[in-house]
Amino acid sequence: MSLQRKLAPQLSSQPHEYSPEERRILLGVAHQAIAAALTGKSLDTAPPTEHLAEHRGAFTTLTLAGELRGCVGYVFPNYSLYRTVAETAVAAAMHDTRFVPVTPDELPSIEYEISVLSPLQSIDPEDVEIGKHGLVVTFGGRRGLLLPQVPVEHGWDRDTFLAQTCLKAGLPPDAWQRGATLQGFTAEIFRSQKGQ
């Protein structure tokens, strides 16, 4: 069982926008998109429902045997959620520069986590809640983002979360106290296991 799944209950519960069937569809298209990319085939990314056609930012995280295998997302809602999940799944599998591309042999064992983002909003540091908010720090052309589940997984307090988001942007850890722009968001997070 992955660390993310073990710690998931500690995240603040949010109302679910996506039904179990919609979650199944999105997790399915993540798997199908990677499978298509591995075989050089194209995948139809036309959304199957009006709700999944709404433009939303989202991240797709891949794990293998409980270890991170790739994570890529779109912060801004430029495309339908359905297309965004398909594209970020392929990008996480093939283009996350921290890892070699996912192989066909690995695909049946890949586990998927999708984080659908709310719109970004300005947030004061003291209003950041661990397990509820993700963060974006921006300063001088640099931007760093951490999802809401990250500080929960690492056991960080709020100041550490703020500092780590600054470091993710390539900024000093105290940039959030020295003029960096801070934005928060929430995420609806759901998971699947082993190619399901």
Domains and their CATH numbers in the chain: 3-118+187-192 (3.30.700.20), 121-185 (3.30.1490.150)
Instruction: Say if residue 60's pLDDT is above 90.
Output: yes
User: b/e for 59-70, b at 16 or more Cβ within 10 A?
Assistant: bbbbbbeeebbb
If one counts every other C-beta atom within 10 angstroms of the C-beta of residue 76, the result is 12
Helix axes 20-39, 81-94, angle to 10 degrees: 40
pLDDT of residue 195: 47
Tell me if the pTM is above 0.85: no
pLDDT (tens digit per residue) in 6-28: 333 344 445 689 999 999 999 99
Mean pLDDT, residues 154-177 taken together? 97
Give the pLDDT of residue 10. 40
Q: What is the mean pLDDT of the chain?
A: 90
Q: What is the mean pLDDT of residues 88-95?
A: 98
The pLDDT score that the predictor gives to residue 16 is 84
Comparing C-alpha atoms, which of 20, 31, 147, 168 is closest to residue 88? 31
Question: What Rg value do the Cα atoms of the chain yield, rounded?
Answer: 17
The amino acid at residue 13 is S
